[in-house]
Structure 1
């Protein structure tokens, strides 16, 4: 995301202002719809990567570092089983990547996939780590981690927000169905409120720790149940923080948009009928819009402006027939709502299924060879039809 040019006098004043005053306006970046992409790469992205994303017109990147090679067991955390302090070499690597994004003109949202006592499943033998949601005392380790990280990053140029944890799911082993109704979600929360699975309380605990060292950087909060559009339904109120953003992810209907669909003898198609919540439903532009509306209706009812709502991820497997149509329908709903968004994913070097610049063909063998050898991805990308719904909107929003 590129900030508009300032008149000479205003620019001089901005440069002369003390750092806290400049940082205090960070939430202003989000006052107009911002469009970007996700970076979930196995290697820290180089300058060309960020320049390419910016070249399409993106204004921000949602950056995850959990696939990068760590100093110890878990990148930056050291050991999610026993957090002591930030890894100095890992922090240096992260700051260097942030500087490259900033130099390219992109704002960055820092998005950990792991926290202390909550290791990302793909770094945990495929097992969901529920420990953080079993004991409130474990929240303190997560709070210390975020306080430490915010202290280090609060003066780092180009940071647009801290996304506290990617796709939390305290409900997963807590007795609440992913497809529960809004009423069932509220009833569940009434029983969990004040306990270890109370996601709004967890977030408030982390935010208080961050605000002890960084009063200015916006904070992005994923909804529960893996950031589902209905995941805010049980939240009685927005968080007590004026610089909070609320994020959902969109891959529904998952039976259609995910890679396993392509392995079926007769894959589900879009638009069309697909299983969802135990029954078949017709998924089309209207159904996609209605699904996403759960989040926006919650926000409107509680006085949360559209400018504080984010679709932090959305996508479909690129080889799905009419994937481009699905992307266009999702983006139409998001644009109508006035929400910020970041597509999943931009030039991912570890998983090609949602890399729309690759089109529908199988990825070049060099992609897999580079992955096995730990080398940079050598495959050239092009903006073809599958990427067009995203490309044209990024270009239209170019500053």
Structure 2
């Protein structure tokens, strides 16, 4: 009886619907939220109506109430979580939960690692320069884990968005696996060792939360080849390994739209310092790299994530590209989140707007200080490849 009472008391003390790695046992499909304003219940209801089961929530663009950087206060000098910002975040999490969506919380900035777009378009390398510079980020994640422990919306923490400890440190982007491994041998156990830093973060979070799944982006901006130099996964049973997919970036990204002759898909596109043909087969071989790494090291497909993918909606080949990427993700049975759902500060990858420019009346209303609603439609053909798979996955 004493044992039974103890068990019942422990169950009563456990947070209701606390984060559980079993959410990730079956493929989960979702979208990214990277809005300027905190999304509300209507936003999450609309995303849930697509069939999405999770949202990768980025709060960094929201108006900070206690300094330059949301939640952090000042990434140059972290002194603790900003209470008013934390209250805003909690309200947003409550709305997501009410809509039936799970949340992967994804800060873009950490102490001494300010997001490039909030840092004068310069890559902030301070965190990677010394072990002392790791300490404020470790403290931040520990504080956040304490503050949010048990919130029913949370399905994971994405600890660093698109980390680049390799930047300016002697390793070319999309280098060969051999070059990556040679580079890693030179930085291993130093402050630029991404695996070591993740291990430090995991340890600090596990001091206060043993259950929360933790999502780890690969290096070089979460590149699909970014795990190629990792000699092994990390020692924690509740980890997810994530990559992002915009390759070939020269074709899918905004600068291509300004070229006199934009790069096409399928076609030859600059990549990794040379030109090569990108088509459905090349997309598959590129995305196969993290899957091969996982298989080699005994990581199941249901612990692999493509946390972002997309292309400029006005690029004439965007629909075909999305279809080719999604075909691989669905066949591999990995989790995914498209970029992005109804972004309010940029329309470049808002597929519900189709492939045409926004009407002049929209921009005119903005100039007049109004808040016009873009002419979105879930039935837009460009959104169809994503929507079909969201709906199918939710049956």
TM-score, normalization: structure 2? 0.94
State the distance in 2 between where 1:294 and 1:33 align: 19
2:19–2:213 contact (8 Å) kept in structure 1:
no
DSSP-derived class of the 2:163 partner: coil
Q: Which ranges in structure 1 are unaligned for 5 or more consecutive residues?
A: 1-13
Aligned equivalent of 2:79: 84
Q: How many residues align?
A: 385
**Residue 111 of structure 2 is aligned to residue 125 of structure 1:** no
Q: Which ranges in structure 2 are unaligned for 5 or more consecutive residues?
A: 1-7
The counterpart of 2:95, out of the listed 83, 88, 100, is 100
State the distance in 2 between where 1:249 and 1:19 align: 38
Cα deviation, 1:296-340, whole Å, max 9, x if unaligned, reads 100100000000000000000001112111001001111111100
The structure-2 alpha-carbon separation of the partners of 1:24 and 1:53, relative to structure 1 and needing over 3 Å to count, comes to: closer
Aligned equivalent of 1:391: 387
Give the alignment of 1:295-334 within 5 angstroms. Answer: 295-334=290-329
**Residue 143 of structure 2 is aligned to residue 171 of structure 1:** no
Question: Displacement of 1:221 after TM fit?
Answer: 0.3
**Residue 241 of structure 2 is aligned to residue 246 of structure 1:** yes
Cα deviation, 1:266-315, whole Å, max 9, x if unaligned, reads 11111111111122211111100100111110010000000000000000
Aligned equivalent of 1:64: 58
The counterpart of 1:233, out of the listed 225, 228, 235, is 228
Question: Displacement of 1:173 after TM fit?
Answer: 1.6
Cα deviation, 1:86-125, whole Å, max 9, x if unaligned, reads 0000000001001101100000000000000000011111
Question: Displacement of 1:364 after TM fit?
Answer: 3.9
**Residue 163 of structure 2 is aligned to residue 153 of structure 1:** no
TM-score, normalization: structure 1? 0.93
State the distance in 1 between where 2:189 and 2:229 align: 13
State the distance in 1 between where 2:38 and 2:207 align: 29
DSSP-derived class of the 1:300 partner: helix
The structure-2 alpha-carbon separation of the partners of 1:376 and 1:50, relative to structure 1 and needing over 3 Å to count, comes to: farther
Give the alignment of 1:244-323 within 5 angstroms. Answer: 244-323=239-318
The structure-2 alpha-carbon separation of the partners of 1:80 and 1:301, relative to structure 1 and needing over 3 Å to count, comes to: same
- Taking only aligned residues, the RMSD between alpha carbons, in angstroms, comes to 1.8
Aligned equivalent of 1:54: 48
Cα deviation, 1:344-395, whole Å, max 9, x if unaligned, reads 0000011111000000111245655677788756223102111111000000
1:23–1:217 contact (8 Å) kept in structure 2:
no
**Residue 196 of structure 2 is aligned to residue 194 of structure 1:** no
The structure-2 alpha-carbon separation of the partners of 1:24 and 1:41, relative to structure 1 and needing over 3 Å to count, comes to: closer
The structure-2 alpha-carbon separation of the partners of 1:147 and 1:369, relative to structure 1 and needing over 3 Å to count, comes to: farther
